[in-house]
Structure formats: C-alpha cells, structure tokens
Structure 1
C-alpha cells in the first residue's frame, strides 16, 4: 500500500495509490466518489449498515475489483449535532479526523492487523470548517459481535479469539475509544476484525487498555443478560498471548 494525495481547489483526497492510479499514474478516484448520492444515482448502493451511522455499502465495479466498499461520511452526534451535523472546525489537513483515521488504518493494515483495507479519505474545506468521508474495503459476510451474542452463536472459542485480537491491537498501542460489540466484526470463517477507528490513536501502555475492555463490557450488557460470562471468556483470550495473523 502506498498513500498519495490528490487535491483540487476545495477538496483533498488521501488514497491508496497502489490500487487507484491508472497506467499514467493519475488517480482514478474523485471527490464525487465520496458522496452517497453519486452511487445511489447509479444503482450501486448495496445496502446500509444499521447502528453505525450513515455508512453505505457500494459496488465500486468501475474503480476496483473489490466486491464492495464501505462509504462512511463523518457526522456529529450528541449536542454538537444541534450546531452542525457534518461540519467540523478546520485546524489543519492532517488534523482532520478523516486523514488521521485513514493513516492509522493504513499503518495497522501494513502490520497485518485485522482491520479493513483503507481506500481513501476525502476532505472538503468551507471557510473555517470541513466535511469529509472515508472509504474502506468491505469485509465479506461479516456480522457484528453483538449479533452473534444475541443469537447465542458466539461460543467460548470465538469469544476467546475476540479477546486475543483485542490484545494484539493493545500490544501495538491502539487505543480504540469506542470499543463496543458493533465495532467488532466476525466473518464467515470466525475471523475477528476491528472497525471504526475514528478518533483512535496509538499510545504507550496505560489505564486506557482496561478502559477499552470496560467499555466493551458495558456494550455487551445491552445485548446479552449473560454479558459477565461473555466478558469472562473475552478476558481469558485477552490474557493469553496474542494470536498470530
């Protein structure tokens, strides 16, 4: 993977040049590709991701051989959304949440950690604010840990694998500030993936590691009455040596 930037008067795109450049080295991705309506008008929207904001699954057949991409615009929640749902204060290109998440994903992906392959991040600047979106490769046939727990199909071996994967991320210093049961995906082969790294960062070991696990425990409590037993299995996997890729 090799990241490159493509800039117009109002926008800047950070993208995977290894996959998205033509034979002349020009980018094949443009600002309109980060707009959900662009794909809707072409009938290329495959679905949406419930519970994860406004993420849409798209068919990038004209740009890539990937089966599907996930397009996620950056949107505010809580009280901040009452001021502006999609505008963020401009403090510099590399400090935007979109570029930071894109670079973090690329770094973890290159370390062969189970995160979606990043495709691109696009920033549009308007005076003192910015809007943006991120595209990643969709993990095929993946379901959330929450879904697996609610249907009682998450056995001890899978839950221990979840804990072991979280430990692998902690070993490299990833503080996932929203570690919850919907940001852990399980594919058809029961491989565990971590998604939605917005506002996450790499840090030295500290209390944040236990805080991540505590947040996951609170999340699981909303989906399963036996969440204490679920977390016990996850904690057991976490205490073991990190699993190999």
Structure 2
C-alpha cells in the first residue's frame, strides 16, 4: 500500500490497482470529465461506478444516517487518521482479501480533516454482474449449494476474527458465476473471542425474516438450516 499525506489530507491506495491518486479522484467531476462514469446506485448517498485501467471501481462518500444525519450530513469527529472510517474500512477489506474472503478489493481511501472533524471517501472494486440476496430472492429460490457457499463465506470471515456489525441480506451478493461476496464493512472491526459470532448470524436470520414479511422473498427455514450447517462445518475445519 502507498500513502500520500499532508497536514489535513490522508490518502491510502493500492498501486497495483491505481497508479496515482489525488484529491480529485474522489470527486464525481473528475470521472465525469474523463467520461469514465459507467453507472451509479442510490443508497444513503450516491455510489458512482467508474472505469479504471483494467477494472471498475465504486466511489462512495461517507454520509450519516438517521436523525443525526439530517443535522450533520457527512462530518465525523476526528480522533486520528487510523480511526477515520474510510481508512479503517480500507484496511479491513485489504486484510480480509489477504485472508481469502470474497470481498471487494480496496482501491483508494481518503480522509480530509477540517478542524475537529473530517470527511471521507472510499473507492473499492465493483463486483460486476452481481445482485444482492434480496433482489434475487424476490424472483426465485436459491439452490442448497448456494446457501452452503454463503455459510462457508461467513465462516471464513469469522475465522479471520472480523465482526460484520451489519450482516444482512442486502450485504451479500451472488455474481453470475454463483460466487458469494460480502460487502459494506463500514464500522466493522476485528474482534477476539467467539461469543459475538452468533450475534452476527442472528442478525442475518432476522434480515431474512424481515424481507420475507416485507417483500415476500422466496426463502424458508430449510434454507437457513443449510446455511447454518455449512457455516458450522467450515468453522470447525
């Protein structure tokens, strides 16, 4: 990894994926001027999909949610560079990728200090030809071997001692090669011990149940048992 720092700006990037990075690379206008925007997605904010050399990236600006987010949209208290959300997520994704977990590769991260607060952006690899579980299960069921793959991937993440604090079915993708991906590691962290791992799984099951009630997704308790059995088998090997 390479870093570019001054008093108020800290940039970290992977030189194998992008040759140079400046403040401009984290703006929509930079990619628009290069005619390199290939799509977008709306969530809390807009994620811009951009074309780099050899791969596509997803540019995301960190924004707050909830009532507090209406008051302070995209500023966070500054406690040091290593504690900024963008650099923490970059580091965690790199760690998980090195551990063999299917996550988007981190490309570049920036934190910009403004007095006592900071703003942040992150560019990660775009997972092409993939849909989240909600989108898939709204239209079809999934075979048992896919649920087994999901269980295996979560187990690999837990073996790396990473707590995904928002593990839900919006954050699990399946691509057209039936490869399982886990995304959105903002505010996630490494954690010792094992007690928290069951909480991750309970949160995931609640997500299935919620979307079954809300969107009538095609999912059953049998699917959950297949996922859980695969998770347990992978965890003990």
By the TM > 0.5 criterion, same fold? yes
Residues 196 and 242 (structure 1), Cα distance of their counterparts in 2 relative to 1, 3 Å cut: same
1:219 to 193, 207, 212: 207
> Whole-Å Cα distance in 1 between the matches of residues 42 and 77 of structure 2?
27
| Contact 1:73/1:133 (8 A) holds in 2 | yes
| Contact 1:143/1:185 (8 A) holds in 2 | yes
Deviates more, 1:69-78 or 1:143-152: 143-152
Residue 54, structure 1, aligned to residue 52, structure 2? no
Equivalent residue, structure 2, for 1:73: 61
> Would you tell me which structure has more helix in proportion to its own residues?
2
Tell me, which stretches of 5 or more residues in structure 1 are unaligned?
Answer: 22-27
Residues 80 and 165 (structure 1), Cα distance of their counterparts in 2 relative to 1, 3 Å cut: same
> Whole-Å Cα distance in 2 between the matches of residues 187 and 201 of structure 1?
25
CA displacement at 1:193 relative to structure 2 = 0.8
Residue 160, structure 1, aligned to residue 148, structure 2? yes
For 1:1-245, what aligned pairs fall within 5 Å after superposition? 3-8=1-6, 10-21=8-19, 28-51=20-43, 53-60=45-52, 64-66=53-55, 68-224=56-212, 225=216, 226-241=219-234
Q: How many residues align?
A: 232
| Contact 2:133/2:170 (8 A) holds in 1 | yes
> Whole-Å Cα distance in 2 between the matches of residues 242 and 115 of structure 1?
18
Residues 110-129 of structure 1: CA distance to partner in whole angstroms, max 9, x if unpaired?
12221111101011111111
Residues 227 and 124 (structure 1), Cα distance of their counterparts in 2 relative to 1, 3 Å cut: farther
CA displacement at 1:59 relative to structure 2 = 1.5
Task: Look up the SS of the partner of 1:18 in the other structure.
Answer: coil
CA displacement at 1:9 relative to structure 2 = 5.0
> Whole-Å Cα distance in 1 between the matches of residues 58 and 138 of structure 2?
24
Residues 3-35 of structure 1: CA distance to partner in whole angstroms, max 9, x if unpaired?
1111245321111133434xxxxxx11111112
Deviates more, 1:28-37 or 1:162-171: 28-37
> Whole-Å Cα distance in 1 between the matches of residues 127 and 135 of structure 2?
16
> Whole-Å Cα distance in 2 between the matches of residues 36 and 182 of structure 1?
25
When the two structures are superposed, what TM-score results if normalisation uses the length of structure 1? 0.87
| Contact 2:86/2:122 (8 A) holds in 1 | yes
> Whole-Å Cα distance in 2 between the matches of residues 243 and 112 of structure 1?
17
CA displacement at 1:159 relative to structure 2 = 1.1
> Whole-Å Cα distance in 1 between the matches of residues 46 and 203 of structure 2?
23
> Whole-Å Cα distance in 2 between the matches of residues 96 and 144 of structure 1?
27
Q: Aligned-residue CA RMSD in angstroms?
A: 2.0
